[in-house]
Amino acid sequence: MFTVAELMPHLIEGGITLSSSQAYRLIFGTPERLSLCALATLCGILDCAPTELLRFSGCRRVVTVDDPCDMPVR
């Protein structure tokens, strides 16, 4: 798969709904965030592990027990 058009039907089949521009950024850019569901779906489509898709470059913020992250839990 080399284009957004080729990937989109597989994402939709996996329950992931992205706009064309979001899918383009996911494939050709550096997305700021990625849901675990989207990551799992991509790994299934591409038959790979998350470590083959992601490059970890460090955290922008260190979170400790005394300073919990302010992100809401879903």
Domain interval for residue 20: 1-74
User: How many domains in the chain?
Assistant: 1
The confidence score (pLDDT) of residue 30 equals: 78
The confidence score (pLDDT) of residue 40 equals: 92
**Average of per-residue pLDDT across 6-19:** 90
What pLDDT digit, counting tens, does each position of 14-65 carry?
999 988 888 888 888 877 788 899 999 999 999 999 999 887 776 666 556 5
Alpha carbon 25 to chain centroid, angstroms:
10
